[in-house]
Amino acid sequence: MAGAGVLLAGCAQTQRSTSLAPQLGRAGVRLQRSLPATLPKGAQVLPKEQLVLLPGESAAGMLVPVPFLAGAVSGAMDRSEAAAEAVQLASIDPYALAQQAWQGSALLSEAANALVLQPFAFLQASVDDRYRIALSHQLSSGAWAGRYTVHLRSSYDSASFHRVTPALLQTLLTEMRDASAVLRGLIERELNGTLRGKNKRVDVGSLHLIGNRAAGLVAPTLLTARGAELIEEDEEHVLVRIDGDPTQPASAGGLLFGVHRLRKDQLHTFRPAQNAS
């Protein structure tokens, strides 16, 4: 695939995405309905839901709300609008889907020292006026955290989110259910030590990773995650582990941290890692 002209460089707050130390997984996994303490700057959370909205950013540096948060006053999101949309999206519950996906697993535990697993989803506004959704399961234990993300196949134009239809909800539900099962498999591999690459590094870029203009100016198609670890690749998908700063706005790489499963048709850049000039 064609390379991007600008590489997303690391910053002082870059967090390394590392494999789980074996001893941390011995007590199993405990599901928890909560969100990570650290989310991308500018993120808006739908009330009582495990859904995180990531608005775009204009050239003036102002947040541009997704359609159902259009009542913006002084750059702040109208949370009453978010609450209204949450009613329509109530059937899309990442936590309930995680419960279903993990049902019967011997790894589930209520032990106090079990790894905490937080299931949630990102809804990202993109520069092409489409909205992209990613389902994440975050594991944490003490100072260690790992985020595992499946980027859903479908994206949606702005008009779709002015009026959420039953058909859209059904597509979301189906894709999130499938993604939940994939995430269980990835985390099981992490716990048994088989979620490992072969020391191959790649540069990877996608509107699913960075969907909007950095600082309202730099086109996201010119940004890549440099030196990502390639865990595996097949005809349709890549699985990569990326370092990143999860406190940054999504347009500046706030979604990069962690393990990502992406379809190849979701990538604008995929190549062997290149050194920065």
Better pLDDT: 266 or 221: 266
Query: Does residue 65 surpass a pLDDT of 80?
Result: no
Task: Report the predicted TM-score, pTM, of the whole model to 2 decimal places.
Answer: 0.87
- For residues 76-86, average pLDDT: 49
Q: What's the pLDDT at 45?
A: 87
For 232-261, what is each residue's pLDDT tens digit?
999 999 999 999 999 999 999 999 999 999
Q: How buried is 45 (Cβ within 10 angstroms: 0-12 exposed, 13-18 middle, 19+ buried)? A: middle
Binning pLDDT at 50, 70 and 90, where does residue 90 land?
A: low
Token representation of residue 32 = 């928890």
Q: How far apart are CA 233 and CA 262, in angstroms?
A: 10
> Is residue 159's pLDDT more than 60?
yes
Q: Report the C-alpha gap between 258 and 136 in whole angstroms.
A: 10
**Closest C-alpha among 54, 61, 85 to residue 163:** 85
125-145 per-position pLDDT tens digit:
899 989 899 999 999 999 999
Instruction: Give the helix/strand (H/E) hosting 132.
Output: strand 130-141
CA-only gyration radius of the chain, Å: 18
Min mean pLDDT across 57-61, 137-141, 187-191, 198-202 is at 57-61
pLDDT digits 0-9 by tens, 66-79:
444 433 332 344 45
Angle at 230 between CA 55 and CA 225, to 5 degrees: 35
Is residue 208 a contact partner of residue 240, using CB atoms and an 8 Å limit?
A: no
Among the listed ranges 46-50, 78-82, 88-92, 198-202, which one has the minimum average pLDDT value?
Answer: 78-82
User: Residue 162 pLDDT more than 90?
Assistant: no
Q: Tell me what pLDDT residue 277 has.
A: 44
Q: Which amino acid is at 247?
A: T
pLDDT for res 46: 76
